[in-house]
């Protein structure tokens, strides 16, 4: 089951009495049933992790294409409340809501050739919608965007106006680490081999850099096969549960 694998993945690596490591190397999802790979993260898992590592300094490693904005904001707020000093390392990509999670750090380190992507929030619609419902959905998205912009504004360099970030948000902007440091209070590290990142969200983005897209294409089949295996596993577990009733 994905939750069992996730618990293994969340085991503290290089843990000491004062430090612990936390990894965001998959999608940000709402709960354990949405965690199709052991790398996917969700708020309850992070809550349990932080309770276990109360007061410790954290090294947070991010290589994520994003995910649920609500789950991501919950994770961001939990990390901000954590009392230890938090150092964030963007190992490859901090895209969409993962860019917000990255800003929970007291210190953010990003290689020159890593990516930091921001865009306007969106939702998928299904069913019948009249104009009133569509207007309400747009208003909700505007409120979500305002919350995200508040986080970005708290982490901007003094000379940067939030209006510049609003424009970048509208355009779906993929900053390199070096470019991102022109806007945000980041420490830029030397170029590194960027770790491959596979996410269900890359197909929804419009401006994925070609160099990154090539890496994604090479690794996407692996995640698709893993997802199929996990779907079958969960179906088997549901069948077993039915037999036990």
Given a contact cutoff of 8 angstroms between Cβ atoms, the answer to whether 39 and 25 are in contact is yes
Output DSSP code: residue 109: E
Given a contact cutoff of 8 angstroms between Cβ atoms, the answer to whether 177 and 112 are in contact is yes
Given a contact cutoff of 8 angstroms between Cβ atoms, the answer to whether 90 and 114 are in contact is yes
How large is the angle between the packed helices 43-52 and 69-81, nearest 10 degrees?
10
| Phi, psi dihedral angles at 98 (to 5 degrees) | -65, -25
Q: Which residues pair with 111 in a beta bridge?
A: 189
The Cβ of residue 114 has, within 10 Å, a number of other Cβ atoms equal to 27
Look up tokens 């698709």; give the residue. Answer: 224
Contacts of 236 (CB under 8 A, 6+ apart): none
Whether 119 is catalytic is yes
Q: Which residue among 64, 96, 99, 199 is the active-site one?
A: 96
Whether 99 is catalytic is no
Output DSSP code: residue 28: B
Return the closest-CA partner of residue 28 out of 18, 36, 17: 36
Q: Which residues are catalytic?
A: 96, 119
């Amino acid at each position: 089951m994905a939750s069992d694998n996730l618990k293994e993945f969340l085991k503290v690596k290089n843990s000491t009495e004062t430090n612990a490591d936390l990894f965001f190397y998959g999608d940000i999802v709402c709960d354990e049933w949405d965690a199709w790979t052991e790398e996917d993260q969700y708020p309850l898992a992070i809550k349990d992790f932080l309770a276990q590592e109360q007061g410790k300094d954290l090294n947070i490693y991010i290589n994520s294409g994003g995910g649920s904005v609500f789950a991501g904001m919950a994770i961001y707020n939990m990390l901000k409340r954590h009392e230890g000093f938090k150092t964030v390392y963007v190992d490859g990509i901090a895209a969409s809501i993962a860019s917000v999670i990255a800003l929970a750090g007291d210190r953010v380190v990003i290689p020159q050739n890593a990516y930091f992507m921001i865009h306007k929030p969106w939702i998928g619609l299904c069913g019948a919608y009249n104009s009133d419902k569509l207007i309400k959905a747009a208003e909700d998205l505007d409120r979500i965007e305002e919350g995200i912009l508040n986080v970005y504004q708290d982490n901007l360099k003094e000379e940067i106006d939030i209006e510049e970030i609003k424009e970048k948000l509208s355009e779906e902007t993929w900053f390199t680490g070096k470019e991102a440091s022109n806007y945000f209070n980041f420490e830029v590290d030397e170029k590194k081999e960027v770790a491959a990142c596979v996410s269900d969200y890359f197909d929804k983005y419009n401006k994925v850099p070609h160099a990154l897209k090539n890496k994604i294409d090479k690794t996407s089949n692996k995640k698709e096969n893993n997802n199929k295996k996990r779907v079958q596993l969960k179906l088997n577990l549901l069948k077993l549960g039915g037999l036990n009733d």
